[in-house]
Chain A
Amino acid sequence: MTSTLSALIGTDEPLTIGGRSFRSRLMVGTGKYRDHGVMSRAIGASGAEVVTVAVRRVDLDRTKEEGMLYHLSSDDYFLLANTAGCYTADEAVRYARLAREAGFNEFIKLEVIGDRETLLPDTEGLLAAARILAKEGFAVLAYTNDDLITALRLEDAGCAAVMPLASPIGSGLGLINPYGIRTIKRRLSVPVIVDAGVGTASDACLTMEQGVDGILMNTALAEASDPVAMATAMRLAVEAGRLALLAGRMPRREVAMPSSPTGGMLR
């Protein structure tokens, strides 16, 4: 069964962002896990290649665990740094430059947050930062809301991918606006990766069925009772949603249509 699924998925095109190709359409974060062992096993089970990290001050008292590079090998994963926690374009640009200096790649998951309660993006700051970073040669993956106009402007700004939310970060509310996400995917040429809000496997499957190129999630795995099992479920759900999309679903009808022959009935 697994090999059949792999073969079917194998006929799909790889996900290509900023000139780099990835087999897995599931990207995962590294925050909020209860320990690094669970995190490593969950990320392994997810099959993800792209793994996000945040940029923070080194704890000089070493009361906390050391940096992520002690727990995740950059040989095994493609490290995608984010600008999480940044509330202005200037701040996000500063974090992005620091992340690039770490020396792994030119990719940045750009977040410019506009509100502490909802963590919804400040689209004005986001566009300003995206323009600067794209000009500096970054492959910008921009975390945004489900608004088509902002998504189009991010594409025009030179973003390598646009990442609309399913629902607010860490909310687990699932795909709130399937139409909005579908519309963004239909209208953009760059890859569309849904980022944030996916809570469980059915959310991931439904999101992929909208036609998007991939999903990034963190809390859905980290806060599951069994993150490794949930990571496996998410891997299968992303593949199932992708396959269902490629398979082409039947039309929706407002009336029933019999599955068995209407002729040949006893009189």
Chain B
Amino acid sequence: MSDIEIVLNGESRRVPGPSTVAGLLRHLGLDPRTVVVELNRQIVRRAQLEQTALASGDSVELVHFVGGG
């Protein structure tokens, strides 16, 4: 077990590894039903979150709905 360094929402961040996208969401305390994930510019479907591995250098975007017009 060793940390991996990823770019999370534009900022470098060390997270516990090895991990999956679902593991990252658990680590951050985020409900996967309210978040959409992009890994290296590719959307990760909810059904694939558990199977999608994270590696050092990966770029992850986590987005959700906020107020807007």
How many residue pairs, one in A and one in B, have C-beta atoms under 8 Å apart?
89
B55 contacts partner chain A, Cβ-Cβ < 8 Å:
no
Is the pair A57, B67 in contact by a Cβ cutoff of 8 Å? no
Q: Mark B11-36, 1 if CB is under 8 A from A, else 0.
A: 00000000000000000101000111
Is the pair B61, A57 in contact by a Cβ cutoff of 8 Å? yes
A102 contacts partner chain B, Cβ-Cβ < 8 Å:
yes
Is the pair B66, A102 in contact by a Cβ cutoff of 8 Å? no
Measured in the bound complex, the distance between the Cα atoms of B60 and A135 in whole Å is 27
CB-nearest residue of chain A to B64: A67
CB neighbours (8 Å) of A196 from chain B are 69
Of A39, A81, A97, which one neighbours B65 at CB under 8 angstroms?
A: A81
CB within 8 Å of A: which B31-57 residues:
34-36, 38, 41, 43, 45-46
Q: Across the A-B interface, give the 3 residue pairs with the lowest CB-CB distance, nearest first.
A: A54-B68, A29-B69, A218-B69
Is the pair B30, A29 in contact by a Cβ cutoff of 8 Å? no
- Pick the interface stretch among A30-38, A225-233, A258-266: A30-38
Is the pair B43, A79 in contact by a Cβ cutoff of 8 Å? no
CB neighbours (8 Å) of B35 from chain A are 58
CB neighbours (8 Å) of B43 from chain A are 97-98, 101
Chain B interface extent, by class = 20 to 34
Measured in the bound complex, the distance between the Cα atoms of B65 and A33 in whole Å is 15
Measured in the bound complex, the distance between the Cα atoms of B28 and A66 in whole Å is 14
The distance from the CB of A166 to the nearest CB of chain B, in whole angstroms, is 13
CB neighbours (8 Å) of B45 from chain A are 101
Task: Mark A residues whose CB is within 8 Å of B.
Answer: 29-33, 39, 52-58, 60, 67-70, 79, 81-82, 84, 94, 97-99, 101-103, 169-170, 196, 216-219
CB neighbours (8 Å) of A69 from chain B are 34, 64-65
Is the pair A67, B69 in contact by a Cβ cutoff of 8 Å? no
CB-nearest residue of chain B to A72: B65
CB neighbours (8 Å) of B8 from chain A are 60
Measured in the bound complex, the distance between the Cα atoms of B30 and A178 in whole Å is 47
Question: What are some 10 contacts across the A-B interface (CB < 8 A)?
Answer: A29-B67, A31-B67, A53-B67, A54-B68, A54-B69, A57-B62, A68-B65, A99-B36, A218-B69, A219-B69
CB neighbours (8 Å) of A70 from chain B are 34
The distance from the CB of A67 to the nearest CB of chain B, in whole angstroms, is 4
Is the pair B9, A52 in contact by a Cβ cutoff of 8 Å? no
Is the pair A52, B63 in contact by a Cβ cutoff of 8 Å? no
Is the pair B66, A52 in contact by a Cβ cutoff of 8 Å? no
Is the pair B62, A33 in contact by a Cβ cutoff of 8 Å? no
CB neighbours (8 Å) of B38 from chain A are 98
Measured in the bound complex, the distance between the Cα atoms of B68 and A32 in whole Å is 8
Contacts A30-B69, A56-B64, A58-B9 known; 11 new A-B pairs at CB < 8 A: A29-B68, A32-B67, A53-B65, A54-B67, A60-B8, A60-B9, A67-B66, A68-B64, A82-B69, A84-B68, A98-B43
Is the pair A169, B69 in contact by a Cβ cutoff of 8 Å? yes
